[in-house]
């Protein structure tokens, strides 16, 4: 702490903000048990913003003079500069971030540091701090989603026409392109971004002025207060709800858990792609490691860790939903523990987005192997059935005919388009031999040119659409920065 830092007071109750009725000291083990500063110290700057806005509201209400508000403002700015430069001592004796801020303001501006708590409670204070903090953190996660989408889009652009086997049930199904696969994951992440933005918007209301549960007695302009703190949704409309609501926490963690679920699915694909059995991709040295025993190993560790960390964020959602499900209205101390679960979940999500983007920038597809494998395994069987349908065969009958043709090809150890002429004529009399060329990989891909299809021309068009979408997202960021 700075030389101006205060020490715990000597008021009854051990100098705690709540100590008026208390004469004895807390049990030391309980004092440590209920202390939240090691977790909520990350709210320090948000708490200073809340204090500054409240001091201005108190000045407007006549509780502070203009000179007193300036003294408080200067003390807040000085404290913010100190903490930004030096951080907060992890062993500080303060109970929580609010008592630490009050103690430090008292050390800098005397009794004004105590008077600033007039008309408010730690209940509406922490609710406001948390929303301010989450707004910044969630936009950082949104930015991480956008950066990963950019990587996927450029991966798709580089491989728009590169074939690779597509799978259902982890069985080879039909050929797709690498670009189509990359954009599939981008689509999922795009929905995650929408969820995050929607959740942030619902959270964007100011609880300050709700006091403990019944509302403040000070004649503050709560809409002006919300505007000072840049809450675009104005003031919350019910003080009881405002101090106890944590559905925005649940919703934001759900958005993170869904994002992590999508990252885990992406990771699973790439762990498989990197296996010796598939051999579709090779991760570079940036995000893969070896074995301490087996010199030949190159393990896709980044993808495996992302897949593993998804479980922790999903667990955080369950923990927070369980935390709030049985709480009566207004504040309960249980809510202190939400941050112990929430903050690591946000950090894991942000880190995993960044690491996934790094890993995908570092990955190299073996295009030739991918192409060879896309031509094997009868992945053009559906196209053969479609050709029969075009020749007038009902699809169910065509399905059965092609099944017999596949059996014969398996027996001979050839692909469908490699069936000997005699077998082709016997099994597929409706199709002349020259229709075999329609089963070539290029034709199979090109046929799927409808919106959402894997045809290279469609993938290239989707890349351009995505680039436009990313440009719009960047413009939204610039507008947000200008507004801030």
Q: Does 318 share its domain with 386?
A: no
Q: Does 55 share its domain with 85?
A: yes
Tell me the CATH number at 405: 1.10.40.30
Q: Does 261 share its domain with 384?
A: no
- Is there a catalytic annotation at residue 443? no
CA-to-CA distance for 191 and 183, rounded, in angstroms?
Answer: 12
Catalytic residue from among 169, 399, 417, 477: 169
End-to-end CA distance of the chain: 30
Q: Does 105 share its domain with 157?
A: no
CA-to-CA distance for 178 and 344, rounded, in angstroms?
Answer: 34
The residue whose two tokens read 């479609």 is 386
- Is there a catalytic annotation at residue 36? no
How much is the pLDDT for 9?
37
How much is the pLDDT for 56?
98
How much is the pLDDT for 126?
97
Low-confidence ranges of the chain (pLDDT < 50): 1-14
How much is the pLDDT for 19?
64
How much is the pLDDT for 477?
79
Burial class (CB in 10 A: 0-12, 13-18, 19+), 459: buried
The residue whose two tokens read 């694909």 is 269
How much is the pLDDT for 23?
74
Which of the listed residues 118, 147, 173 is the one where a domain comes to its end? Answer: 118
How much is the pLDDT for 6?
36
Which of the listed residues 118, 149, 172 is the one where a domain comes to its end? Answer: 118
Tell me the CATH number at 58: 1.10.275.10
Catalytic residue from among 41, 291, 417, 477: 291
Asked whether 180 and 459 are in contact (CB, 8 A), the reply is yes
Within 8 A by CB and 6+ apart from 277, the residues are none
How much is the pLDDT for 409?
97
Longest dimension (CA), the chain: 101
CA-to-CA distance for 88 and 109, rounded, in angstroms?
Answer: 20
Q: Is 410 among the domain residues?
A: yes
Number of structural domains found in the chain: 3
Which of the listed residues 373, 397, 424 is the one where a domain comes to its end? Answer: 373
Q: Does 177 share its domain with 110?
A: no
How much is the pLDDT for 27?
84
How much is the pLDDT for 407?
97
390: containing domain: 380-446
Q: Is 29 among the domain residues?
A: no
Q: Does 38 share its domain with 69?
A: yes
How much is the pLDDT for 32?
87
Q: What are φ and ψ of residue 175, in 5° steps?
A: -75, 145
Tell me the CATH number at 317: 1.20.200.10
Q: Does 313 share its domain with 290?
A: yes
Half-sphere exposure of 83 (CA within 13 A, CB side): 23
Q: Does 359 share its domain with 423?
A: no
Asked whether 121 and 97 are in contact (CB, 8 A), the reply is no
CA-to-CA distance for 428 and 388, rounded, in angstroms?
Answer: 8
């Amino acid at each position: 702490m700075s030389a101006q830092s205060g020490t715990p007071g000597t008021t009854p109750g051990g100098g705690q903000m709540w100590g008026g009725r208390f004469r004895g000291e807390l049990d030391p083990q309980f004092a440590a048990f209920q202390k939240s500063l090691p977790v909520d110290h990350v709210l320090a700057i948000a708490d200073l913003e809340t204090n500054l806005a409240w001091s201005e509201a108190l000045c407007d209400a006549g509780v502070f003079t203009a000179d007193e508000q300036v003294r408080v403002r200067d003390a807040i700015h000085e404290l913010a500069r100190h903490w930004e430069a030096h951080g907060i001592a992890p062993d500080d004796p303060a109970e929580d971030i609010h008592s630490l801020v009050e103690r430090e303001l008292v050390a800098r501006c005397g009794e004004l540091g105590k008077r600033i708590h007039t008309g408010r409670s730690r209940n509406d204070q922490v609710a406001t701090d948390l929303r301010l903090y989450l707004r910044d953190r969630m936009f950082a996660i949104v930015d991480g989603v956008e950066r990963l989408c950019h990587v996927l889009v450029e991966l798709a652009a580089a491989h728009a026409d590169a074939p690779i086997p597509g799978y259902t049930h982890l069985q080879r199904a039909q050929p797709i392109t690498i670009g189509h696969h990359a954009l599939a994951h981008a689509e999922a992440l795009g929905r995650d971004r929408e969820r995050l933005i929607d959740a942030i918007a619902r959270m964007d209301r100011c609880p300050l002025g709700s006091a403990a549960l019944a509302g403040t007695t000070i004649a503050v302009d709560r809409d002006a207060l919300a505007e000072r703190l840049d809450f675009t949704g104005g003031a919350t409309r019910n003080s009881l709800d405002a101090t106890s609501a944590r559905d925005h926490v649940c919703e934001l963690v759900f958005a993170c858990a869904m994002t992590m679920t999508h990252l885990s699915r992406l990771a699973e694909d790439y762990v498989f792609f990197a296996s010796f059995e598939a051999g579709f991709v090779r991760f570079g040295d940036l995000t893969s490691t070896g074995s301490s025993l087996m010199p030949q190993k190159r393990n896709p560790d980044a993808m495996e860790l992302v897949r593993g960390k998804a479980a922790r964020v999903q667990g955080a959602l369950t923990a927070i939903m369980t935390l709030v499900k049985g709480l009566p209205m207004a504040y309960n101390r249980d809510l202190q523990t939400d941050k112990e679960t929430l903050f690591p979940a946000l950090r894991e999500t942000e880190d995993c987005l960044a690491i996934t983007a790094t890993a995908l920038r570092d990955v190299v597809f073996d295009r030739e192997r991918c192409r060879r494998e896309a031509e094997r395994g009868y992945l053009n069987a559906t196209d053969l059935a479609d050709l029969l349908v075009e020749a007038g065969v009902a699809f169910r009958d065509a399905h059965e005919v092609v099944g017999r043709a596949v059996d014969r090809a398996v027996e001979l150890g050839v692909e469908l388009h490699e069936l000997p002429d005699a077998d082709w004529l016997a099994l597929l009399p409706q199709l002349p031999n020259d229709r075999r060329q329609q089963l070539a990989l290029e034709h199979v891909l090109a046929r799927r040119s409808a919106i959402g299809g894997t045809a290279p021309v469609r993938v290239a068009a989707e890349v351009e659409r995505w680039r436009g979408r990313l440009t719009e997202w960047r413009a939204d960021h610039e507008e947000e920065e200008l507004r801030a």
